[in-house]
Amino acid sequence: MSAAATAAELLAVMGSRQLTDDTTVFAGVGVPLLAAALAQQRHAPRLTIVVEGGIIGPQIKPGRLPISTNEMRAGHRALMLPGITDVFLFAQRGFLDYGFVGGAQIDEHGNINTTALGSDYWRPQVRLPGTGGANDITSLCREVIILTAHEKRRFVKRVDFITSPGWIDGDGSRRRAGLLFGGVSRVVTTLGIFGFDPESRRMRIEALHPGVALPTVRDNTGFELLEADKIAVTEPPTAGELTILRALDPERRFLG
For the annotated catalytic residues, the residue numbers are 52
CA distance 189 to 10: 9
CA distance 203 to 107: 8
Give, as one character, the DSSP assignment of residue 86.
H
Measured distance between the N- and C-terminal CA atoms of the chain, rounded to whole angstroms: 18
CA diameter of the chain: 48
CB 105 within 8 A of CB 113: yes
Q: Count CB atoms within 10 A of the CB of residue 190.
A: 18
H or E element: which one contains 208?
Answer: strand 203-208
CA distance 256 to 249: 10
Q: Which distant-in-sequence residues (6+ apart) come within 8 Å of 55 by Cβ?
A: 69, 74, 75, 78, 80, 81
Give, as one character, the DSSP assignment of residue 167.
S
H or E element: which one contains 186?
Answer: strand 184-189
Nearest to 55 by CA among 40, 68, 74, 36: 74
